[in-house]
Each structure stands twice: as structure tokens, then as C-alpha cells.
Amino acid sequence: MRPDLEYNQNGDVTASSEKLDKVEVASDSSDHGSESIIQAVVGDIELREHNIPKDDIVPPEAPAALDWDGPDDPDNPKNWRFGNRVFQTLPPALFSFVVTFASPVYTTATQQIQDEFNVPLEVAIVPLTTHTLGFALGPMLAAPLSELVGRRYVYIISFGLFLVFTMASGLSPNVAALCVLRLIAGCLGAPALAVGAGTVTDVWDTHKDGGVAAMFFIMAPFLGSSLGPVFGGLISYNQTWRWTMWLVLLIGGPMFLFFIPFMKETYKPVILKKRAIKRGTPLPPQPRGAEALRKVLMVTLLRPLHMLVTEPIVIALSLYTAFIFGVLFLFFAAIPYSYGTQYRFDRRESGLIFLSNIVGVILGSATFGVIDRTIYKKRYEHAIANGQQPAAELRLISAMIGSIGLPLSLFWFAWTCKSSVHWIVPSLSIIFFGWGMILIFLAAATYLVDTYQYLTAASALAANGLLRYGFGAVFPLFAIQMFTNLKIGLATSVLAIISTVMMAVPFVFYRYGKYFRERSAYETLKG
């Protein structure tokens, strides 16, 4: 059996051809449906957590120091019973849900924070910004930590501390403490988002039976972000804002305590290392000190930042998805303001409006699957039948379709969110926002994976995530000023106009993506 992880003569961790095949799903998968697309997304993120520089990849004939005993090795997570594999997939997905749920959950109670701490609304929104900023910073620690102690301990340590600092946030004596504690909680919650994708690829063969599990993991953060304001509005209607923090503990605490005794380690190098120690097998040398730190910094920080300023594909798609994410987080402040001023909605009623976005996310995920199994698959197979390399730009079909939903939604909301129009009309527009958002995000992620090879794709996704959460942190800061000074119609129309201009991104790269791929400074799919 081909090795999954190997060690070269210098003790550097390397990747085998089996793992590389998971990234190159377009070239050797017999099923090019939605499962292979999700494999492309989560499989390459999993490589990122190995921190394997591209230059250290060895040919498949290199010997393995540690590997499974055979294809039926019972210690291999992919050989566990189906029910056990399902159970081991739940913690990262549900932890990601809770972490993203916690970010906007208190935004419908900002008036209470204003009254208690005697601060303006703009300051009361800052804890949303700091918590979201933590999502951008936390993954920088998650990957090297999982390399040392495995995924299970990363979940236990980080999520446990996330709950502790969420509790501390609920006990904050002032708004400054709330901002700092929420920042720390965001950083500690982020590893569930960063490491969880690796667990999916540890446990499932997404070419065969893991597509649904992978899709569930990808949808969980979007559902958490949308449900946060819904439950936050319901609970803060009769309780203080601190109960929004207690709600996170009530959801995440029992879940955490339930999973701890049953969670298993799924990370192959850690499983093999423990087994080798038990068997008395010598362990291969591993990079230490400055060399190990250099590799971690290169993969988790320096390369993503470099790509974010030098690669047109990464820059354009990251800006597009970051803008969409920014608008989503801007809505956490703008929707309560808009419905409060126009329809006299209270916190509870304003929070329920976000159910429309949940409907849109679910419909968008279903649309993505339909597009993938019809339009994408047909064009992919046509290229193969004609002896051609299928273009990576085929992944952008979903984004081109989804891009229509954003300006449609925003213009619709801008022109109908007023007291003379029934509140249900602007609420329906938000469905199209969620629909377009998830289509564009999934298309952009799979296109980056197909375009860039090996760890370079992981760095491209890391750059995308860094900018995306950065925009999500900043946009709420000017939401109220923008909607107050420009009024709801003009403010939302400005966002709609920007989204209309940015519609060109997937269309331009669908037409000229090959040109930029061939001129990239990084290894890319050249066909």
C-alpha cells in the first residue's frame, strides 16, 4: 500500500502519491459529482495541516517509515464501522456550528450593552468585530498544534477554553473587557473551523461515501452564523445580553462534555506514532527548532500573504468572497436597525428575519449539487472524451449563476424595506442573498483547489479565509453610520452596485483564467 505520510532523509514530513491523488481529483476520479468537489476542498485543507512544503514531496516509490499494516488495518479510521465514522464527524461540525453561532448571537441585544455600559451603538458592536477577527488569527496556531498533539486534543483544549472565555465574556464588567475576551474566544474557537476539514478526510473516502459528511461540515458554519441572531433575539427579548453568552454555554457545554469520552484520534501520523511506541518500533526523525518553525510560518502565514498580493486569481476571488462575507456580517447590525426603524420590530422579531438566509443557504447547497451533477459533469466528461484536460474554470459555473442572486437580493431589499411595504417582501429578498453566497463560496473554494497544486492550494484557501474574516470583522463597524446617513435604500443600493460590478469576477476568470494560470509564479493546473 502506498504511504500517506513519509519522512525524507532530513527528517522532513512528506506526502505520498496517495495523498496527492486526493488533491488531484479531477485527473483520476471516476465520479466527478459533488463528492469529488468536496474532496477537493477538504482534502487539500487536510494537507495544509500536515505543513508539508511542496518541495519536500517525494516520489511514490520512496519507502515509508510508518504506515498502516494493510488496506484492512483496523486502526485506519476509514476502516471503522459506519456508525463510528459518522459519530467522529459530528464533533468538528457541531463545534464549528457553535463557534460561528457565538459570533453574532448577541448583536440583537446591543441596545442593552449601550444602556449598561453607557457606550454608543458603534462601540457596542465592536465585540462582534473582535470575535470574528479571532477566526482569522486562530488557524495560525491550530495547524502546528494539531501536528504535535493530534486533532482530538486540539478540539478538547481549544473548544474547552473557548467555552471558558465565552463564560468570561458573559461576566465582563465593561465593554473593553468584553472586546478582549471575545477576541480570545474567537481565536480559541477557530481551530474547530481549521482542523475539522482534516477530520473529514481522515475518516471518509469522499469519492465513495463521504460527500454528505463533507457537505454537512461545510454548511455548519454558515448555518451557525445565520441562526445566531435568531436565537439571540429570542433570548434577549426577556433576558439581559449576558444570557446570549449563557446560551452558547448551554448549547456547547453539554455537547462538549458528551463528546469528550467518545472522541477518537483520527490523525494518521499521531495514530501510527502511538502504535509504534506501543510496539517498540523506532520512530523516524522529525524537524525541530528553527527549521520546524520556518516551515510552519511559510505554510500558515507567509505564503498566503504573498499570494494575496501577487496572484490575480487569489486576489480577485478573495475580494469577492470577502465582500459577500462582509455584507453578511454588516446585516447583523443593519437588519435590526432597518426593521426597527421601518416596522418597529423588537429584538426577537428582527432576529427571526435571519431565517430567510438559512433557507437561502440550504437552497444554494442543493443548487450547487444539481449544477455539479448536470452542467459541470457534462462539460467535464465532454473534455475527457475529446482527449482534453478539463479546464479548472468549469468550477466557476456555480459562481456565475450565484452571482446573479446578490445584486438581485440587495436591490430588492433596498427598494422594499420601508414602512409602506409589508415586511415579508424585503425578508424574502434575503433568501436570494444566502443562495448566491453559498454558491459563490463553494465555487471559489473548489476553483482555487483545482487551480493551485498541493500545498499551494491550501495557502490560497488560507489567504481567502484571512481576507474573508477580515472583512467580516470590519463591515459591522460602519453599518449603522452608513444606514443612518445614507438611509436604508441608498446604503443598500451602494452595496448592490458593488456586487453588480463584482459579478464580473467569475465571468472574467471563466474566460481568461487559463491565461492567469499559465503566468502564475506558483505551480498551477496548466491545461
Contacts of 148 (CB under 8 A, 6+ apart): none
Whole-angstrom Cα distance, residue 175 to residue 15?
47
Window from 245-254, 349-358, 462-471, 491-500 with minimum mean pLDDT: 462-471
User: Is residue 225 classed as helix, strand or coil in its secondary structure?
Assistant: helix
pLDDT at residue 16 is higher than 60: no
Please report, for the domain that includes residue 452, its CATH number.
1.20.1250.20
Residues 101 and 179 in one domain: yes
Of all residues in the chain, the percent with pLDDT exceeding 90 is 43
Under 8 Å between Cβ of 267 and 146: yes
Residue 3 in domain: no
Rounded CA Rg of the chain: 23
pLDDT at residue 186 is higher than 90: yes
pLDDT at residue 61 is higher than 90: no
pLDDT at residue 84 is higher than 50: yes
Residues 259 and 319 in one domain: no
Residues 173 and 257 in one domain: yes
Residues 234 and 312 in one domain: no
Give the distance, in angstroms, between the CA of residue 224 and the centroid of all CA atoms in the same chain.
Answer: 12
Helix (H) or strand (E) holding 462: helix 455-485
Residues 386 and 520 in one domain: yes
Residues 370 and 512 in one domain: yes
Residues 343 and 223 in one domain: no
More confident residue, 289 or 422: 422
Residues 324 and 185 in one domain: no
258 pLDDT tier (thresholds 50, 70, 90):
very high
pLDDT at residue 17 is higher than 80: no
Whole-angstrom Cα distance, residue 121 to residue 110?
7
pLDDT tens, position by position, 316-373 = 999 999 999 999 999 998 999 999 999 999 888 998 999 999 999 999 999 988 888 8
Contacts of 173 (CB under 8 A, 6+ apart): none
pLDDT at residue 527 is higher than 80: no
Among residues 250, 267, 284, the one where a domain terminates is 267
Residue 45 in domain: no
Contacts of 83 (CB under 8 A, 6+ apart): none
Under 8 Å between Cβ of 440 and 323: no
Grid cell of 471 as nine digits: 472583512
Q: Which residues pair with 14 in a beta bridge?
A: 6
Residues 244 and 322 in one domain: no
Helix (H) or strand (E) holding 483: helix 455-485
Residue 29 in domain: no
Angstrom CA distances, 521 to 4, 23, 331, stand at: 27, 20, 38
The pLDDT of 159-171, averaged and rounded, is 95
Residues 256 and 317 in one domain: no
Under 8 Å between Cβ of 418 and 342: yes
Domain carrying residue 244: 83-267
Positive or negative, the CA dihedral 288, 290, 293, 295 is negative
282 pLDDT tier (thresholds 50, 70, 90):
confident
Grid cell of 301 as nine digits: 502565514
Residues 368 and 239 in one domain: no
More confident residue, 43 or 139: 139
The pLDDT of 122-146, averaged and rounded, is 84
Residue 339 in domain: yes
Residue 412 in domain: yes
What confidence score (pLDDT) does residue 521 get? 84
**In the chain, how many domains are there?**
2
Window from 8-22, 145-159, 256-270 with minimum mean pLDDT: 8-22
Residues 244 and 364 in one domain: no
pLDDT at residue 55 is higher than 70: no
More confident residue, 19 or 475: 475
Residue 207 in domain: yes
Residue 61 in domain: no
- Give the CA diameter of the chain: 77
Mean pLDDT of the chain: 82
Residue 123 in domain: yes
Grid cell of 151 as nine digits: 486533532
pTM for the complete prediction? 0.80
